[in-house]
Structure 1
Amino acid sequence: MSDTPQWNSAAPIENLRRRAAIIAAIRAFFVGKDVLEVDTPVMSNAAVSDPYIDTIECRYQPLVGGDVEMKYLQSSPEYAMKRLLASGSGPIYQISKAFRNGEVGRRHNPEFSMLEWYRPGFDHRQLMTEVAELLLPLLGLSEAVEYSYAQVFKTHLGIDPHSACVAELRTIAAEHIDSNYEDDNRDNWLNLLMSHVIEPRLASEGAVFVYDYPASQAALAKVSEDAQGRAVAERFELFVHGVELANGYHELTDATEQARRFEADNRQRGEENLPQRPVDDLLIAALENGMPDCAGVAVGIDRLVMQAIGTDNIADVIAFPLPLA
């Protein structure tokens, strides 16, 4: 291997042209829907508390006077966009850079591009319809199938993910995955089975929406009861050929509940020896002021382009990805 640094684009220029065309089509879609394009900061003095996301730290301090510090690169524009919704923006979208520590590989780059949009008056099922309307034509697909989270676990593993205990999940994982993984957290086992067993099996079905996740995986989504009386998170994910492209919520608007979830996240972080993250008090204040009932979704632009051109390597769609060791 040459020791000469690679100065030129990792992605073929033709792929970058395709990427530009896809982004132009996304913008045209939202212009046609009268959805406002917005731009929010990527630096903040707060960070996402989700235990499954590791925020990249940065350091900004004024050169002269002042005490404002920005310590984190945002993993999503979500919090700032919700503040705009509470400010009366109406429907909005953004194409922005986002950052996540440690996420590097064939499908990951620590700096990546994200499309995020919010629809006041929509729930998660209505937003699923709009996600399909935008993304499927870009991928040359005509339709998507829809399954509840309970359905995919019942079909592929024969269990109810809403009631299965850790011991049962551990036993099933041992039947399918060659791993010494140990954990007492039930959701970590569900996530392992989803990513290592179920998602690969969805690949043959093209575009697949999975919705109504366990309430313990609500993140920033509302919780309700399904037809069986189980508490479920009103959220969905879109998988295309077994690859996750989108994650959407019927958004939580209760400031007290949001603060409680932030605290629960940091409690779990402590239990797993992860760093604590400062709560975004501005988001809590926005929710207290009143954010409209809405649904929102985040789409990975890089993965979308990967699917469109038929590659499984993110370096084929990014000009200058982080070099792999």
Structure 2
Amino acid sequence: MSSNSDWRPSASLQVLQQRAKIIRQIRQFFYARDVLEVDTPALSHASVTDLNLRAFSTQFNDPSSPHVATLFLQTSPEFAMKRLLCAGSGAIFQLSKAFRNEEAGRWHNPEFTMLEWYRPDFDHFMLMNEIDALVGPILGTDEARRLTYQQAFMHVLACDPIAADLAALQKLSTDLGYGDLANKEADKDVLLNLLFSQHVEPAISQDKPCFVYDFPASQAALARLNPDDPRVAQRFELYFRGVELANGFHELSDPQEQRQRFLQDNLKRQQQSLPIIAYDELFLAALESGLPSCAGVALGIDRLIMLALGCERLSQVLAFSYSKA
């Protein structure tokens, strides 16, 4: 934690001016395409079941109720934005603060700026085209390359991540120096995530951005399964210089399937001695009323600006990073 005398901003005023220019450019991109800007709550009665996300919570002393309410700072505006879609909003975008109770460091801050948008009648490939049109001019890069998750693994590690069994992934992980973890790990996805983050991500996106799509179905999150190959999901991520910039989906709209995925998340949470998270019933009720066929994506604005300006640390593009907040 900084001392009281170190009150100055984390970012230079020149960087903050450049940041404002990029934010304005993003808004103008969506205004030109007639995408509605929305503003949803940062505090919610429900949170996410995702095993990799930890939400901040707080207590609200509601004067109209004898009970103290637990509220969660949102890890993403996703559920609220999908409720707007179910209510007939049409195409929407949001630039908002998101909060994750995770690490702080070169690429992370517990409070960060997220751009999230949804396009009815788009599939994930159409949305990739739009992301390219947005980020290319900001980063000054050519059109992003596209690889399936399977192709990326095969190219970098000569391993088929979809077909490989646990034993094969344990052997590969051990050969690459992760034997202590690999021999104790019974979850394929943990090893896939390790290998992907440490070896695949850095190798595929150094010279220009790269979309990776068709993630394993076990990592589908909120994406539809691929109807031609149910082993994979219609989910994609965008990487540049080894950094994850965006995570998007051809969105799941089946409320029963969504409830089942929440249940599976909580079963895994139980196995890992993590807290059980109550489902967001308002979100599920909205899905029951009907989510239009759409694709959506969340993009990290601080990381995008950091890469665009050639900065080394996230704190260099934040007015006040966590340590100075």
TM over 0.5: yes
Aligned partner letter, 1:314: L
Percent pairwise identity? 48
Aligned to 1:187: 189
Aligned to 2:292: 292
Residue 295 (structure 1) shift: 0.1
Q: TM-score when scaled to structure 2?
A: 0.95
Aligned to 2:219: 217
Task: Indicate yes or no: 2:202 matched with 1:200.
Answer: yes
Long gaps (5+) in structure 1: none
| Aligned-partner Cα distance in 1 for 2:2–2:8 | 14
| Aligned-partner Cα distance in 1 for 2:35–2:224 | 23
Size of the aligned set, in residue pairs, is: 322
Q: TM-score when scaled to structure 1?
A: 0.95
| Aligned-partner Cα distance in 1 for 2:27–2:47 | 28
Residue 202 (structure 1) shift: 1.9
| Aligned-partner Cα distance in 1 for 2:179–2:8 | 39
Q: Deviations over 1:190-219 (max 9, x none)?
A: 111110111111242311000010111100
Q: How does 1:63-142 map to 2 (within 5 A)?
A: 63-65=63-65, 67=67, 69-142=69-142
Residue 67 (structure 1) shift: 4.7
Aligned to 1:259: 259
Aligned partner letter, 1:256: Q
- Structure 1 residues 199-208 or 19-28, which shifts more? 199-208
Q: Deviations over 1:211-256 (max 9, x none)?
A: 0101111000000244xx4521001000011111000000000000
CA contact (8 A) 1:47 1:280 kept: yes
| Aligned-partner Cα distance in 2 for 1:191–1:2 | 34
| Aligned-partner Cα distance in 1 for 2:268–2:88 | 34
Q: How does 1:1-325 map to 2 (within 5 A)?
A: 3-65=3-65, 67=67, 69-178=69-178, 180-181=180-181, 182-226=184-228, 229=229, 231-323=231-323
CA contact (8 A) 1:36 1:93 kept: yes
Long gaps (5+) in structure 2: none
Partner SS state of residue 239, structure 1: strand
CA RMSD after TM alignment: 1.7
CA contact (8 A) 1:43 1:72 kept: yes
Runs of 4+ in structure 1 displaced over 6 angstroms? none
CA contact (8 A) 2:165 2:188 kept: yes
CA contact (8 A) 1:250 1:294 kept: yes
CA contact (8 A) 1:43 1:70 kept: no
Partner SS state of residue 180, structure 1: helix
Residue 102 (structure 1) shift: 1.9
